[in-house]
Chains A and B, each alone.
Chain A
């Protein structure tokens, strides 16, 4: 930042085109390290000419930006109304918990799995549903959950 960036009021002049790239920049930063570290936030701020506090404020608003590291496979079970009605939500979470030995908000000691409940995944017509990293799994049954978890357990 140099002196010409500062208005008389002390407010930094922000380039709206750069500011509009903030969400994309945060995605790129997160993809590289799997999590948004304070250093990554500072780098994004510097590249876009924004204050680190502003970048943190925006990042913290959105659930897909993560400040805490998660396991290699992030299991996100839909906690929505239709999944609940179709025997999902709690039942799917309990079933997975029993299989991998962790509750929602936890990560397995080997760092392979994290488990979370999330809001509606727009899979109400194919409930119950869950997402693991970028993949969506629908019409879940104990058998399909077993198959998915076994495959991921075996991934090197």
Chain B
């Protein structure tokens, strides 16, 4: 088999890759010209046919989401999620810093498809360079007539603005992001209604992740049939896998969905440091269940990871070798979620603190078997019982970790 030629990351290593001139010299904004000559419904149909699913963690089919927007709604918005914060994930930062126009072209095509004339880019406050790159890319796109009134003579108008978050993981959740864009505390809304029905200022709003949007130009440019030929039955197209932890070559690797986890870790990321054995793998960011090494042959796709007892999430693979203290790793993950809980739902706010206290007690060697049972009881009192998926997310690594590494926990507690 010939090695995969990057699609999403084809530009990032060119000199001055972030500039509009570099982007346009390599086919940039050609897909936009093509899309503007299609009917909006045809663009939606093409994205639906491609099988593209969201890359922000939930994996919802993008074209289907676009179809939920009421055609006759007078005002519609597009919100761009650059609030990357799931530990282990560092792909969106790469695209924003090195190839912002590949996202922006997707933004304009998506807005045209759903009939939005206003798009809001929400970016994590800590991404100082990313903020600059977004602002420059948008300014240059206006100069070239890709934004503003009557884009490329099509009669379609679109304005885009950049909004900095201010340090809150929860604002990566789409309804919390909308609250934050409205100038409020980033507390998630109860769904339904979904943002596509009632979003920013109560208007239908499409929220898309940066990597998802970076796929759009390729789907329009090369066609849905080409795109759907990549990947597996239910997971189409290329995906950026972020590999970190105990590997020789951590980094972002773009590969077709369905690439086996083993191949990503051993062939692309150079294997485990010092030739050690793997103890545990987080396949999709820290809110996805931990996998044991006997699942290394799982194809990295939505359906296969679900069958293996975990999830694709953001595609952020964290590798932990045989020297890893799993109790400490799980305590650390829990500490993250407790810090980032917005506090609006009691199970997550209070339950998270209790989970962390219990893990600290066990980690300090002062726990008992009752503490292990308490973790289980607490997880069942949080999982699925909160407005947003974070409550469930904080329980996944604990439940899977205890299940897989029970002996490590048992060794820390008094009988």
Interface residues of A (CB under 8 A from B): 16, 19-24, 26-27, 57-58, 61-65, 79-82, 84-86, 89, 119-127, 131, 134-136
Contacts and interface: CB of A to CB of B under 8 A. Distances in A.
A135 B87 CA distance: 20
A145 to B, nearest CB: 19
Given A19-B183, A131-B126, 18 more contacts: A20-B183, A22-B184, A26-B166, A58-B184, A61-B185, A80-B332, A81-B88, A81-B245, A84-B328, A120-B169, A122-B85, A122-B92, A124-B242, A124-B250, A124-B316, A125-B251, A127-B250, A136-B128
B243 to A, nearest CB: 7
B201 A120 contact: no
B341 to A, nearest CB: 12
Interface in B91-144: 92-93, 124-129
Nearest to B181: A20
Interface residues of B, number: 53
Nearest to B319: A85
A20 to B, nearest CB: 5
Chain A binding surface SS class: mixed
3 pairs of A and B residues whose beta carbons are closest in the complex: A62-B166, A63-B167, A22-B183
B125 A125 contact: no
Given A58-B183, A124-B318, A125-B90, A16 B201 contact: yes
Given A64-B126, A122-B93, A126-B250, A24 B163 contact: yes
Nearest to A25: B183
Interface of B: 84-90, 92-93, 124-129, 163-169, 180-186, 201, 242-246, 250-252, 282, 286, 316, 318, 320, 324, 328-329, 332-333, 335-336, 339-340, 342
Contacts of B242: 124-125
Contacts of B92: 122
Contacts of A123: 90
A116 to B, nearest CB: 12
A23 B328 CA distance: 36
Given A120-B336, A125-B90, A127-B244, A27 B166 contact: yes
26 contacts: A19-B182, A19-B184, A20-B182, A22-B183, A22-B184, A23-B183, A58-B185, A61-B185, A62-B165, A64-B125, A64-B166, A80-B87, A80-B88, A81-B282, A82-B244, A86-B244, A86-B245, A120-B88, A120-B169, A122-B85, A122-B93, A122-B126, A122-B127, A124-B316, A125-B242, A127-B250
Q: Which of A19, A80, A123 has the most chain B CB atoms inside 10 A of its CB?
A: A80
Contacts of A119: 85, 87, 169, 336, 339-340
A112 to B, nearest CB: 21
Nearest to B88: A124
A139 B242 CA distance: 16
Q: Which of A27, A120, A122, A131 has the most chain B CB atoms inside 10 A of its CB?
A: A122
A64 B318 CA distance: 27
A81 B167 contact: no
A131 B129 CA distance: 12
Given A81-B88, A124-B244, A125-B90, A62 B183 contact: no
Given A120-B336, A131-B126, A23 B87 contact: no
A21 B164 CA distance: 11
Nearest to A82: B244
A54 B184 CA distance: 9
Q: Which of A27, A58, A89 has the most chain B CB atoms inside 10 A of its CB?
A: A58
Contact of A61 (B182, B186, B252): B186
Nearest to B90: A122
B118 to A, nearest CB: 12
Contacts of A24: 163-164
A26 B93 CA distance: 24
B163 A23 contact: yes
Given A23-B180, A58-B184, A62-B165, A134 B90 contact: no
Q: Which of B166, B182, B335, B339 has the most chain A CB atoms inside 10 A of its CB?
A: B166
Contacts of A85: 244-246, 318, 320, 324, 329
Given A82-B245, A85-B320, A122 B329 contact: no
Nearest to B180: A23
